[in-house]
């Protein structure tokens, strides 16, 4: 199941609630020849890595004190990406990775 919302200006958001694979398939169908951007937290990134659909990954890192957090690469022995750009500011670091090979 999914719901589409059209914002002022024409931007369309598609909300798919039956799992990552269904959401990604819908995104690819909707994008046509354009690329698909995936945004989300650690769980979303892990699912995208597991599905092997990421060519480029940007991590935005902002220090936050937490009791515990989600490990983005939990259960992975290799990463398969290399850093190609690092940007920083006083409050955050942004690292862009590309798939190796």
In whole angstroms, give the CA distance from residue 48 to residue 37.
Answer: 11
In whole angstroms, give the CA distance from residue 2 to residue 23.
Answer: 9
Can you give the pLDDT at residue 87? Answer: 96
β-bridge mates for residue 79, sequence order: none
Q: Is the pLDDT of residue 77 over 90?
A: no
Q: State percent of the chain over pLDDT 70.
A: 94
Domain ranges of the chain: 54-101
Can you give the pLDDT at residue 51? Answer: 94
Can you give the pLDDT at residue 92? Answer: 92
pLDDT digits (tens, 9 = 90+) for 15-50: 888 999 999 998 999 899 999 999 888 889 999 999
In whole angstroms, give the CA distance from residue 49 to residue 1.
Answer: 23
Nearest to 3 by CA among 11, 17, 20, 15: 15
Give me the residue label for tokens 């719901």.
3
């Amino acid at each position: 199941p999914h719901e589409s919302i059209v914002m002022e200006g024409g931007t369309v958001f598609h909300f798919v609630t039956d799992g990552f694979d269904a959401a990604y398939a819908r995104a690819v169908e909707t994008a046509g020849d354009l690329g698909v951007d995936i945004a989300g937290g650690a769980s979303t990134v892990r699912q995208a890595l597991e599905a092997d659909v990421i060519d480029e990954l940007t991590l935005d890192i902002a220090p936050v004190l937490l009791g515990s957090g989600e490990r983005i690469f939990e259960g992975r022995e290799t990463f398969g990406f290399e850093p190609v750009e690092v940007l920083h500011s006083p409050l955050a670091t942004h690292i862009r990775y590309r798939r190796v090979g």
